[in-house]
Structure 1
């Protein structure tokens, strides 16, 4: 061990708790050594395939978030997901018009106008809040991840107005399968579990003095709402798609917690 590495008491505390509960788990599960070895080998394949972030997002993160936030006021967070990337373009705002998400000129899909209001726990509007949006395209892919779309397609950020409001023009996302050809898919087969996620928008809100809110927006009537493979759906994050003749509209209000 390097002599210039300082002991981290928090790491020690968490690891001791992990061992305590792991011993209880092993006793209850009654694992044999072959099962343990099979798990280690599968976990090794998971890491070598680069799927550890995917597995954690799909099977673990939602339970972490529920443990942290279920009984707290404010909008419930949902999964960041493995398809977020830094550096999205800023979407410029023209007064009276929605900001337009980064899209190809002939972007396939139904046009969506999604509007929202960002406020604190007392209902005060949060002006100039940074809003990051990203979602999949009509091929069920995310740009920069096994997609033919240009980098940052259907990705961007913008800021709320003086009333904490925003309106963004994009396309309606569609349900998709998580990657299931590697070790994560192997795990799904063990559980006899499908790989589908309901259609959703990813949103991230950042405002000085407030906890960053990372969440998702889902749409009423989606066939996968009740059995999302990642269990990321929250009732308060479901909104309704209204047909406005030529485009769809949806809206939701978001409450941020003080930092």
Structure 2
């Protein structure tokens, strides 16, 4: 798909949810691991038992049960299971999966990752529109192993929302690979990526997840962040997000994905417009 979408329209939960669900299904069909029967038995039994405990502890009524049943059905019809799981569950899965790593911290992938982004050299500018709104941002750093050795040719895959909080391929009116790319580090593991600062954004609120947020009196905002997957041969891939010091919602992210080690400190660019940030990645051996 190389055509640029130019029709302007409003992004909706149904549209972004359907796109996220389709992406997940495609990836799952390609590399889904075989299920271990004993693990499925253990996890499913404990999950159902936990639900039973909640019902008994809070004396859930039939009226409340019917509301829950209706909501669960609607989540599926809206295609919002990827959104629900990525916002409220994935951060704990990631915590367990990476608890023994000595290198850089990871965090959730989220529902808006798309493989196959264009490739660029170590000094790169991400694809963007000629009139892309937002403050210019220079993101730079180095990729090393846990022993301190530079990782030549490491891959830094980056994607993020635009100045309106929308992701390419999940909202109309955006070029296919807007603000997405693979960057190959130089022979010392260094990289420089020119892009724009993303904005904080609400997760879609016009569907089932939005109904839950409203009913519980929560806010629906994620802080501004850069998504990254960093990898090198012989090392573990790390999936992470980087946030901006002093940014809105850093302290109360709806997805509970912020960690102190993932906060950037922007500084003005010395010889131009916008800000620059430096972040070095340390990868564990495979």
TM-score, normalisation: structure 2: 0.81
- 1:1-259 mapped onto 2 (5 Å cutoff): 10-30=36-56, 31-32=60-61, 34-70=63-99, 72-93=101-122, 98-244=123-269, 245-259=272-286
- The alignment yields a C-alpha RMSD, in angstroms, of 1.8
Pick which of 141-150 and 70-79 moved more.
70-79
Cα deviation, residue 100, structure 1? 0.7
**Is this contact kept in 2: 1:70–1:76, CA < 8 A?**
no
**Is this contact kept in 1: 2:138–2:195, CA < 8 A?**
yes
**Is this contact kept in 2: 1:91–1:102, CA < 8 A?**
no
Task: Note the alpha carbon deviations across 1:224-248, whole angstroms, 9 max, x for none.
Answer: 1000000111111101110125121
Cα deviation, residue 32, structure 1? 4.7
Cα deviation, residue 38, structure 1? 3.3
Structure 1 residue runs without a partner (length 5+): 1-7
Describe the shift of the 1:19–1:189 C-alpha distance in structure 2 as closer, same or farther (beyond 3 A).
same
Following the alignment from structure 2 to structure 1, what is the Cα–Cα distance between the partners of residues 183 and 35?
40
Task: State the SS of the aligned residue for 2:120.
Answer: coil
**Is this contact kept in 1: 2:121–2:184, CA < 8 A?**
no
Say how many residue pairs are matched.
248
